[in-house]
Amino acid sequence: MASPDTLGLSPINAIALVGALGVGAQWLAWRLQLPGIVLMLLAGVLVGPVFGILDPARDIGPLVGPMVSVAVAIILFEGGMTLNLHHLSDATQGVKRLVVIGAPLGWLSSTLALHYGAGVGWQVAAVFGGIMIVTGPTVIAPLLRQAKLARRPAALLQWEAIVNDPIGALAAVLAFEVVVVLNTAETIAHATQTLLIGVAVATVLGWIGGQGIARAFRRGLVPEYMKVPVLFVVLIAVFAASDTVLHESGLLAVTIMGMVIANADLPSYAELRRFKEHATVLLVSGVFILLAASLDLSTLAQLNWRAGLFVALVILLARPLTVLISLIGTDLSWRERLLVALTGPRGVVLVAVAGLFGERLAALGVPDGALVAPLAFVLVVATVVLHGFTLGPVAGRLGLSGGRRPGVLLVGGSLFSQALAETLGKAEVPVLIADPNRSRLRGARQAGVSTYYGDILSQGAEEALEMQQFDQIYALTDNDAYNTLVTTDLAPEFGRSNVFQLVRDREGQARHDLPSTLGGRSFAAGQSHAELERAMRRGHRLRLTRLSEAFTLADWQAEAQDAQVLLALDLKGTPHVAAADQDITARADWQLIWMEPPETSVS
């Protein structure tokens, strides 16, 4: 049998394996509708401590530590870029309370649960308790999509996760800096001086880096194609410079830098944010696989019944008390408060940051530092699995389930969109029409259709609407350019396969054709807004027909030869858009939404 050394991977193969496992696990989780963190943990543990295929320290060597440090720095920078103070000031009272009151209270309660439950020392508990404020923005979103909660508790959980993400990072970094200084300084006075200098330098460097990027981008000193490279170079430079003054203070500096950029109101902020989100997905995947593969089974074996007590205290005591106390005096019902209090999944950010800090604490000789990473893994797995299986049923028992059917957002009020909304409503598909022109929504409101008056791309729509309740978007306005803008802007959030628009009036003319990278997929079998409106005025109607074993799609096609199918709704109520160049496929118990000419009569 070969020795472990001969079985080792080359650094290139090891890095390739880490990337393939991380991204592959997230893709598989998307396909199976499972939390990606569970599959990443399983993959990392199997190739690492179980089968010994990957040993980061052996296969990648001394670069593992710097790689993880830089990756965590970028992850925390991304967290900082989500904290827009304007959004916080406009947030609901519940979100503000969960941030202003809940964050420090959660830090305290988590620290107590760690010390008295897991039995770790106060230094480790304070550092780990800080990052436990984060409820996992990368985990809560898929759980909310799966559970289909009512709008208000879903929005509260989502905004809490987003806003508390950088706050938890700041709390953990500050606590870690205190521990580092206390364990390396010779006297209390020296420790205080070193800490104050380090925090001040990190704050100044983060502010200078963020302001420098903002001013350079705003004044056009950096071309568009170089903005992302310049951003990441400055990010690494700020991280390294701050770390030189005080070890690990670079994490604080990059978090502050992200917050400064988030509040600079940059015109190119959306593009920057999307790119760094993509980079964060790759980095989170890589860090998680590296940390899981580096787990020592002997360290996991050190976890005893106190680890279970710690998890129980966090889920049953620390989280509920934090939420219930924070939400005292709000207009939320007791059912909504209870649901939020019982929902607190932790995610990969916690594992990544806790794993890095655990290694640093252990290297400093802090007692129980080596237990941080195993405890983080245990907490994340327990909360993700628990909430993944119970959030939907608990919401249903409390009467806070928003329904499991996928919703449709129609952009643009018109005769056709009103008829489509009414027909979708008959099929029990949640639907909403949005339009910045109030008069175009009058008919829909009179018909009892849900409407939103305003621009769907506005900040107001982002705050007033819970976009997670919609799975598809149909841009149906009479403005081709606006339809293209809506579908292009929202495609990254909804997926390009789920955004549709009417065909442009001058489609097919070389001087008016747009690149395929812009806009959404074709809707209404290639008909324009003007054609659909003329059809509705001539007496066309939208009909809903259910297929069965006795009345198949072929039977319907034989009876309605001139009819046009718009949508086919499957057994779950998911709409499938009929394409102009493809035959529609539908099975028994599917429903068809189709346009009936005035002279056609089909049951």
Of the residues 370, 397, 424, the one at which a domain ends: 397
Residues 471 and 354 in one domain: no
Closest to 157 (Cα-Cα) out of 144, 170, 138: 144
Q: Where are the beta strands (DSSP E) in 110-184?
A: none
Of the residues 397, 423, 456, the one at which a domain ends: 397
Of the residues 367, 397, 427, the one at which a domain ends: 397
Residues 292 and 419 in one domain: no
Which two structure tokens, joined as six digits, stand for 60?
């990648």
Residues 302 and 426 in one domain: no
Residues 153-169: tens digit of each pLDDT: 877 887 787 777 767 77
- In 3-state terms, what secondary structure has residue 471? strand
Looking at 450-574, list the stretches that DSSP marks H as alpha helix, in order from N- to C-terminal side.
459-464, 480-494, 529-537, 553-559
DSSP 8-state class, residue 468: G
* Residues of the domain holding 452: 407-596
- In 3-state terms, what secondary structure has residue 72? helix
> Does a structural domain hold residue 3?
no
Mean per-residue pLDDT pooled into runs of 10, the chain (603 residues): 56 91 86 75 88 89 81 76 62 76 91 92 89 76 70 77 72 79 71 75 91 89 85 91 78 84 74 67 80 76 84 93 90 88 82 78 84 86 83 84 74 91 90 90 88 83 73 89 86 83 66 64 82 89 88 82 82 79 72 81 50
What pLDDT was estimated at residue 6?
47
Residues 273 and 291 in one domain: yes
What pLDDT was estimated at residue 494?
81
Report whether 515 contacts 537 (CB < 8 A): no
Residues 389 and 437 in one domain: no
Which two structure tokens, joined as six digits, stand for 270?
């959306």
Residues 333 and 457 in one domain: no
Domain CATH number, residue 369? 1.20.1530.20
> Does a structural domain hold residue 201?
yes
Computed over every residue of the chain, the mean pLDDT equals 81
Residues 493-548: tens digit of each pLDDT: 788 888 998 887 655 555 555 665 677 888 877 788 888 899 899 988 898 989 88
Residues 568 and 423 in one domain: yes
> Does a structural domain hold residue 603?
no
Q: Rounded to 5 degrees, what are φ and ψ at 458?
A: -80, 165
Report whether 139 contacts 384 (CB < 8 A): yes
Q: How many domains does the chain have?
A: 2
End-to-end CA distance of the chain: 73
Q: Which residue type occupies 582?
A: Q
Domain CATH number, residue 570? 3.40.50.720
Task: Mark 366-381 as b/e (b = at least 16 C-beta within 10 Å).
Answer: bebbbbbbbbbbbbbb
CA angle 501-418-532, nearest 5°?
55
> Does a structural domain hold residue 227?
yes
Residues 94-153: tens digit of each pLDDT: 778 888 898 899 999 999 999 999 888 899 999 889 888 888 666 776 677 667 777 678
Residues 419 and 326 in one domain: no
- In 3-state terms, what secondary structure has residue 475? strand
Q: How far is CA 162 from the centre of its chain?
A: 9
What pLDDT was estimated at residue 507?
55
DSSP 8-state class, residue 498: G
What pTM value is reported for the model? Answer: 0.66
Q: How far apart are CA 109 and CA 321, in angstroms?
A: 8
What pLDDT was estimated at residue 580?
53
Q: How far apart are CA 304 and CA 291, in angstroms?
A: 21
Residues 47 and 66 in one domain: yes
Query: In what order do the strands lie in the sheet containing 470-475?
Result: 451-453, 431-435, 407-411, 470-475, 499-501, 521-522
Query: In what order do the strands lie in the sheet containing 564-569?
Result: 541-546, 591-596, 564-569, 575-577
> Does a structural domain hold residue 365?
yes
Q: How far apart are CA 152 and CA 321, in angstroms?
A: 20
What pLDDT was estimated at residue 277?
65
